[in-house]
């Protein structure tokens, strides 16, 4: 598997500072975007800290092949081991920001959204808290691998509001979950299988406020390089007024081997079958 990526952030045309943070780590296959909130520099600090913590602890846990029990908080049995590393990292970042916000008056009310993508040859893990998003473009279709934690998104899910009404609601930016506002946080985490030419887009709402899913798909389909995808999208955001900071990471996966069914594979399965039976047989004998 090969992962090619590019990340970009832009302060936009209306804001004085950039409260977004991001990280791109091809060697780990780890990509993170965070959109901070809170007065003065608090938003910037919250997003920065969370990106740093998640990167640091993930690397540490991978290096020592930590068990699920060693990571921060109760393990989630529905997730893989690496899924639990991501979960632990997000929980830890939340706790640190939460305690900082309690401790210092100038940090009071600070928080951040987070999206984390991990790509491995056998699994893709996507996690989020808040309204930053992860998209997957595969076979000419676009799919969200994140769930917005906002009032309007929850009302859409409950069937009280349509997608269109949500899009135009003045409450679009009111979050129901973020990192930093409570002691515990529950992120959404999804695990899927990778496929060749999978293209991922991670972003803050500075992008999705101004560019819809269909337009995202068009750009991702027209461009072949992650850098070009990011730059096209940022150009579009700036052209449309860029009222907020916008951050975009694009990741493209190639060289993923997925066996096709054919005669050679069938022979392969047959050999595998013999090996598995043999192994079971040997196990029995040993016992």
Partner 1 sequence: MARLVLMFNKQVVKEYPLMKESVTVGRNEENTIQINNLAVSGYHARIDAAGNDYILTDLQSTNGTFINDKRVVSQKLSHGDNIIVGKHVILFVGAGAEAADAKSSAQKSDLDKTMMLDTAKQKELLSKQKDSGQASETTAKIGVISFIEGADNLGEVELKKKLTKIGKADTSEIQLSGLFMPATAATISRRPSGYVITTMGGKIKVNGEVIKDSVALKDFDTIEVGKVKFQFYQKETSEKQG
Residues that bind partner 1 (CB under 8 A): 35, 37, 76-80, 83, 109, 111, 113, 123, 130-131, 138-139, 143-147, 151-152, 155, 157-161, 165, 168-176, 178, 181-182, 186-193, 195, 205, 243-244, 258-261, 265-266, 269-270, 272-273, 276
The nearer residue to partner 1, 185 or 232, going by C-beta atoms, is: 185
The nearer residue to partner 1, 152 or 249, going by C-beta atoms, is: 152
Task: Compute the least distance from the CB of residue 147 to partner 1, in Å.
Answer: 5
The nearer residue to partner 1, 204 or 250, going by C-beta atoms, is: 204
The pair of structure tokens assigned to 214 is: 């269909």
Task: Compute the least distance from the CB of residue 21 to partner 1, in Å.
Answer: 14
Task: Compute the least distance from the CB of residue 246 to partner 1, in Å.
Answer: 13
Task: Compute the least distance from the CB of residue 7 to partner 1, in Å.
Answer: 20
Q: How far apart are CA 188 and CA 214, in angstroms?
A: 23
The nearer residue to partner 1, 217 or 232, going by C-beta atoms, is: 217
The nearer residue to partner 1, 180 or 226, going by C-beta atoms, is: 180
**Are residues 15 and 245 in contact, defined by beta-carbon separation less than 8 angstroms?**
yes
Task: Compute the least distance from the CB of residue 55 to partner 1, in Å.
Answer: 22
The nearer residue to partner 1, 60 or 267, going by C-beta atoms, is: 267
Q: How far apart are CA 192 and CA 134, in angstroms?
A: 13
CB contact set of 6 (below 8 Å; sequence gap of 6+)? 24, 225, 226, 227, 229, 230, 249, 250
In three-state secondary structure terms, 72 is coil
Task: Compute the least distance from the CB of residue 52 to partner 1, in Å.
Answer: 21
Burial letters for 15-49: b for 16+ Cβ neighbours within 10 Å, e otherwise?
A: eeebbbbbbbeeebbbbbbbbbbbeeebbbbbbbb
**Are residues 126 and 145 in contact, defined by beta-carbon separation less than 8 angstroms?**
yes
């Amino acid at each position: 598997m090969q992962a090619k990526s590019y990340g970009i952030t832009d302060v936009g045309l209306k804001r004085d500072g950039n409260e977004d943070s991001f990280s791109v780590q091809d060697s780990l296959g780890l990509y993170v975007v965070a959109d901070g909130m809170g007065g003065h520099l608090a938003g910037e600090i919250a997003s920065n800290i969370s990106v740093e913590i998640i990167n640091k602890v993930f690397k540490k846990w991978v290096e020592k092949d930590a068990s699920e029990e060693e990571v921060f908080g109760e393990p989630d049995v529905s997730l893989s081991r690496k899924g639990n590393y991501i979960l632990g990292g997000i929980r830890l970042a939340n706790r640190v920001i939460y305690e900082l916000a309690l401790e210092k008056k100038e940090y009071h009310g600070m928080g951040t959204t987070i999206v984390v993508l991990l790509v491995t040859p056998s699994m893709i893990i996507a996690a989020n808290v808040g309204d930053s998003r992860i998209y997957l473009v595969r076979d000419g279709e676009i799919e969200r691998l994140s769930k917005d934690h906002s009032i309007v998104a929850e009302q859409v899910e409950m069937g009280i509001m349509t997608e269109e009404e949500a899009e135009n609601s003045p409450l679009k930016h009111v979050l129901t979950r973020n990192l930093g506002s409570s002691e515990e946080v529950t992120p959404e985490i999804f695990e899927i299988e990778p496929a060749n030419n999978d293209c991922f887009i991670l972003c803050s709402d500075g992008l999705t406020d101004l560019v819809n899913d269909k337009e995202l798909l068009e750009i991702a389909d027209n461009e072949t390089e992650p850098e070009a995808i990011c730059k096209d999208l940022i150009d579009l955001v700036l052209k449309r007024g860029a009222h907020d900071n916008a951050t975009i990471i694009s990741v493209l996966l190639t060289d993923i081997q997925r066996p096709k069914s054919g005669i050679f594979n069938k022979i392969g399965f047959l050999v595998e079958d013999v090996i598995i039976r043999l192994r079971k047989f040997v196990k029995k004998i040993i016992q």
